[in-house]
Structure 1
Amino acid sequence: MDTKKHNENIVEQFSKQASGYSAITSHSDALEKLISITSASKKDKVLDIACGSGIVSCEFAKHTNHVTGIDMTQGMLDEAKKLQTKFNLKNLTWQIGDVENLPYEDNSFSIVVSRFGFHHFLNPLKVLSEMKRVCKPDGVVIVVDVSLPDTKIKKYNEMERNRDCSHVAALSLTEFYRLFEKVGFKNVNTDFYSMKIGLNEQLEASFPSNPIALKDMIVADVGVDDLGINVTEINSEYFLHYPIQIFFAKNN
């Protein structure tokens, strides 16, 4: 896919999604887990890659010296500034930018994080390389995203490309480990949580190319789990349980 066209696609999609994104309550799940994993403290300077509406950035800002959030969608950064104001946080900088070519010096940050961004990247290897480059020696690089066994990735990606046309591909567990290895990380650690979203809530915040086909695909997966999101039905309402993997490593 052409990079320029893909980036335009992302901006278009997330400009539409901006106001609804933060409203999904489960997008704030497990933030304390990220703080704990990174041992975030007031001596840390943090970079949040593809920071979106600032949920992760603002959480880290409560615990650290300073956080920089970079994203290519102005609408998302506008939402991030609203969240910053809500929490009365002063130690944040927001920047429009391309995460494949980060505008920062080597060894600039002690924590470099990306949450829910990697499935949108055409070149995740380049992005992770850039994250490693700007991270200080012995700093922490942490990537959070949906990740599934290899056997479920194809169907999951089919579903997500319908739901969000800027979705490139979720990476399998195997692919994520290979990615970290290729970039040069030695000891990669993992953690996990499940993010529960109601189907109606998800559809209201999305702009699928074929909403009927998307809903049918998800409903048909109850008790089957070909999609890898353990769809359940409770009182005629459907729930998706996204498997969120956390990959983190010290920069060696």
Structure 2
Amino acid sequence: MGTKKHNKNIVEQFSKQATGYTSITSHGDSLEKLISITSASKNDETLDIACGSGIVSCEFAKHTNHVTGIDMTQGMLDEAKKLQTKINLKNLTWQIGDVESLPYGDNSFSIVVSRFGFHHFLNPLKVLSEMKRVCKPNGIVMVVDVSLPDSKIKKYNKMEKNRDCSHVAALSLTEFSSLFEKAGFKEINSDFYSMKIELYEQLKASFPSDPIALEKMIIADIGINDLGVSVTEVKGEFFLYYPIQIFSARK
């Protein structure tokens, strides 16, 4: 798929998903971990790429001098502005833009972060290289996303492409390490948390191409874990535990 068509697909998907995405409570999990890892302070200028509905941007705005959030979907930025207003934050700027060619000068931000965006990128190395370019010397670049062992990736991607047709591919742990090395980072740190989402909460906020097949695929994985999300049934409810990896490196 070409870049133009893919970007159109992303905008269409996330224009539909905008409100539902924000409503998933677990999307607010472990934000304090990101703040701690980056040692965010009022001395920092932060960039959040593919910022979506602004959950990460607004959290960093509580701790840093200013946050710029960039995304290509206006509907998501509208949700971000609503969140900003709700918690009464002033130190944020929102911008429509393409993360493969960031509209900022070299060495502009001390923290550059992206959460849950990399599995949508056709060229993740180009995006990571752009994140590094706009990061100040000794600043921190952080990528947060689902990442699994190589053995789980194929089936996980099949599930996610059904659930969200703008999904390109989750990167394995090996692929993420290689990506940071190719971008020229010398020392890569990693951390982890598990994001718990109830199956029907997830489906309600999604627009699967085949919802029945997706539901069956997930439920059939209980006790097997070929999908890598540790599907569990508790009192008739089904829960997915997405393995979220936090990769960070100093420029």
Shorter-chain TM-score tier:
over 0.9
**Letter in structure 1 aligned against 2:148:** L
Q: What are the Cα deviations for residues 189-239 of structure 1, in whole angstroms up to 9, with x where unaligned?
A: 000000000000000000000000000000000000000000000011100
> Is 1:6–2:6 an aligned residue pair?
yes
| CA distance in 2 between partners of 1:147 and 1:73 (Å) | 24
Q: What are the Cα deviations for residues 39-89 of structure 1, in whole angstroms up to 9, with x where unaligned?
A: 000000000000000000000000000000000000000000000001100
Partner of 2:162: 162
| CA distance in 2 between partners of 1:215 and 1:31 (Å) | 29
Secondary structure of 2:23 counterpart: coil
| CA distance in 1 between partners of 2:158 and 2:20 (Å) | 23
Aligned residues: percent identity? 82
Secondary structure of 1:77 counterpart: helix
Secondary structure of 1:68 counterpart: strand
Partner of 1:193: 193
Partner of 2:93: 93
Q: What are the Cα deviations for residues 129-170 of structure 1, in whole angstroms up to 9, with x where unaligned?
A: 000000000000000000000000000000000000000000
**Letter in structure 1 aligned against 2:236:** S
| CA distance in 2 between partners of 1:21 and 1:206 (Å) | 8
> Is 1:207–2:207 an aligned residue pair?
yes
Partner of 2:20: 20
Partner of 1:77: 77
Partner of 1:141: 141
Partner of 2:233: 233
Partner of 2:177: 177
**Letter in structure 2 aligned against 1:157:** N
Secondary structure of 2:203 counterpart: helix
Secondary structure of 2:196 counterpart: strand
5+ unaligned residues in a row in structure 2: which ranges?
Answer: none
> Is 1:51–2:51 an aligned residue pair?
yes
> Is 1:249–2:249 an aligned residue pair?
yes
| CA distance in 2 between partners of 1:120 and 1:59 (Å) | 22
Q: Which 4+ runs in 1 deviate beyond 3 A?
A: none
| CA distance in 1 between partners of 2:41 and 2:164 (Å) | 35
| CA distance in 2 between partners of 1:41 and 1:20 (Å) | 31
Figure out how many residues of one structure are paired with residues of the other and give that number. 251
| CA distance in 2 between partners of 1:41 and 1:236 (Å) | 44
Partner of 2:34: 34
Partner of 2:118: 118
TM-score of the superposed pair, with normalisation by structure 1: 0.99
5+ unaligned residues in a row in structure 1: which ranges?
Answer: none
Partner of 1:217: 217
| CA distance in 2 between partners of 1:154 and 1:53 (Å) | 28
**Letter in structure 1 aligned against 2:41:** S
**Letter in structure 2 aligned against 1:102:** L
| CA distance in 2 between partners of 1:49 and 1:246 (Å) | 15
TM-score of the superposed pair, with normalisation by structure 2: 1.00
